[in-house]
A = this chain, B = another copy of it.
């Protein structure tokens, strides 16, 4: 049995874990389209397995709390199967997970977030907690942006991102059984394929979201077939190492 998951512990185990494992990792995913080759749960699977690897790395000082299987995905709702929470409901769920854990004595909580659409809501929770729970530390981390140097070394398409090279590489590494290898096909790969609003939405500094049906016919940005064998390992290793490094410093603080 996996003793790193709070879900699988008994209440007596949990009582000991408050002291022994003072850091709780909350895997946050999404339930949204990932193109023709990846499953709807891609983001949760990545977050969950990376959280597990981080917890293993920390050797018992961290454990996985309850997960967030559905995230904030309004931009993907035009694609069948996408299930989305509103920003305020997602934030409420995170806040209430945190409040329960805080009640039992945990003071360090890190959301391991596999879905960019959750970023803003997670930050609002972090802000609200500064006032309501001043004795609590709350942080959240994305996945792929932690390894942007690794992505830079991959031969990615001009346009790449959602369900593209880096994400597919991670899922192949973490859950190859969920990847439909034969259905992997490129989505939008060149800037010239984007219309003017789509181009504007991908500016670096200015936030201007558009829905994904405008960005890509099949929901994919980039070419998932271009991820060479070792990329998944490099990405996952880098992400795990960086989260674990952060956690080590936090636990030592």
A interface residues with partner B (beta carbon < 8 Å): 1, 6-15, 17-18, 31, 33-41, 44, 65-67, 69-70, 72, 74-75, 77, 79-89, 91-93, 96-97, 100-101, 103-105, 117, 119-124, 126-128, 130-131, 134, 137-142, 145-146, 177-178, 180, 183, 195-197, 199-200, 203, 205-211, 219, 242-243, 246, 249-250, 252-253
Contact = CB atoms under 8 A, between A and B. Distances in A.
A60 B207 CA distance: 23
29 contacts: A8-B41, A8-B178, A9-B39, A9-B40, A10-B34, A10-B36, A10-B38, A12-B36, A13-B81, A14-B80, A70-B93, A77-B131, A80-B104, A82-B100, A82-B104, A84-B96, A85-B93, A87-B127, A89-B93, A119-B123, A120-B124, A123-B207, A126-B208, A134-B211, A140-B206, A141-B206, A196-B249, A197-B253, A205-B242
Contacts of A120: 119-124, 127
Given A11-B79, A66-B83, 16 more contacts: A9-B39, A10-B37, A10-B39, A14-B33, A14-B40, A66-B70, A74-B127, A83-B100, A86-B96, A87-B127, A87-B128, A88-B88, A120-B123, A123-B209, A142-B205, A146-B205
A124 B121 contact: yes
A86 B124 CA distance: 9
A10 B31 contact: no
Contacts of A80: 11-12, 14-15, 17-18, 104-105
Given A89-B93, A127-B209, A83 B65 contact: yes
